[in-house]
């Protein structure tokens, strides 16, 4: 997870020398990666609340949020985006034998099944640039998404018929009070926020079109 963020950050640094200006009519596409999206936070809270009960689960693998975003700039300060993301996690169901409520360190824990969960996200976002310079844009983002969850549970490792599949959808949100973009035709960005995109995410952006004003200035 940390290596992926480091590679994205290196790519962002490599693009820093090119000028960056967002103008009306520009549009671009971003690919990125975020850590701790909403589903991980919610499930982590659920784990803490249910720890100590007879049945629980333990995460073994979480991918984080891979995403792609298309952005269109309505004005120099305002843009809208379409967002798609995917996250996967897997783990084991465990049974906790508390041995007459002894100390947690003395409990016996047994694996009793496995689970896997995939989350697809489709969202629309509003972005507001509140600082624009030749090299750096600082902005905030507010997004609303539809989450599609596909879950598979096997509650008994010895009985294939015990496999249970659950699908669900729900509304989620994302808010980033601060994001920074720097570069030119190819640029990097980093955001800090909360919601489906994660508490921190990095991305690389390619601009397909520059405004006529920018072209005449070059």
Task: Report the C-alpha gap between 32 and 4 in whole angstroms.
Answer: 10
Separation CA 218–CA 212 (nearest Å): 10
For residue 85, pLDDT over 60 is answered with yes
Average pLDDT for residues 33-62, to the nearest whole number? 59
Distance CA 182, CA 213 (A): 20
Dist. CA 86–CA 52, nearest whole Å = 31
pLDDT > 90: percent of the chain? 30
- Of the listed ranges 69-78, 104-113, 160-169, the least confidently predicted one is 104-113
- Other CB atoms within 10 Å distance of the CB of residue 69: 23
Quickly state the pLDDT bin for 105 (edges 50, 70, 90): low
Q: Report in angstroms the alpha-carbon separations of 37 from 14, 47, 50, 64, 218.
A: 27, 16, 21, 7, 40
- pTM comes to 0.73
Give me the CATH number covering residue 66: 2.40.160.20
Q: What is the span of the domain harbouring residue 160?
A: 2-217
Q: Which residue has 């390619």 as its token pair? A: 206
Kindly report, residue by residue over 3-42, the tens digit of the pLDDT: 554 454 445 444 444 444 546 778 899 999 998 765 555 5
Q: Looking at residue 15, what is its pLDDT?
A: 45
Indicate the number of domains in the chain.
1
- Residues with Cβ within 8 Å of 137's Cβ and at least 6 positions away in sequence, in order, are 20, 22, 129, 131, 180, 181, 182
Question: pLDDT tens-digit profile of 116-156?
Answer: 889 999 999 999 998 888 778 899 999 999 999 998 888 77
**Would you state the pLDDT for residue 201?**
93
**Mean pLDDT (the chain, rounded):** 77
Q: Three-state DSSP class for 97?
A: strand
| pLDDT at res. 153 | 82
**R_g of the chain, CA atoms, integer Å:** 22
Q: Which two tokens stand for residue 123?
A: 């969202």
Q: Calculate the alpha carbon distances from 171 to 85, 90, 151, 175, 189 in Å.
A: 14, 22, 17, 14, 26
Q: What is the DSSP letter of 39?
A: H
Q: Which two tokens stand for residue 162?
A: 């015990």
């Amino acid at each position: 997870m940390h290596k992926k963020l480091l590679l994205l950050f290196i790519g962002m640094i490599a693009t820093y020398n090119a000028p960056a200006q967002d103008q009306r009519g520009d549009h671009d596409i971003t690919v990125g990666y975020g850590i701790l999206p909403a589903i991980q936070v919610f499930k982590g809270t659920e784990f803490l609340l249910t720890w100590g009960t007879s049945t629980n689960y333990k995460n073994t693998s979480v991918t984080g949020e891979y995403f792609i975003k298309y952005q269109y700039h309505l004005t120099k300060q305002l843009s809208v985006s379409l967002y798609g993301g995917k996250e996967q996690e897997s783990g084991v169901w465990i049974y906790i034998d508390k041995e007459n409520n002894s100390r947690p360190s003395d409990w016996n824990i047994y694996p009793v099944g496995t689970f896997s969960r995939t989350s697809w996200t489709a969202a629309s976002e509003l972005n507001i640039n509140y600082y624009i310079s030749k090299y750096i844009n600082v902005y905030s983002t507010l997004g609303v998404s539809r989450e599609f969850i596909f879950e598979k549970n096997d509650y008994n490792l010895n009985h294939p018929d015990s496999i249970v599949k659950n699908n669900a959808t729900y509304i989620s949100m994302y808010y980033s009070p601060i994001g920074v973009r720097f570069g030119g035709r190819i640029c990097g960005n980093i955001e800090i926020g909360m919601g489906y995109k994660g508490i921190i995410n990095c991305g690389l952006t390619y601009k397909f079109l520059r405004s006529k004003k920018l072209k005449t200035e070059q």
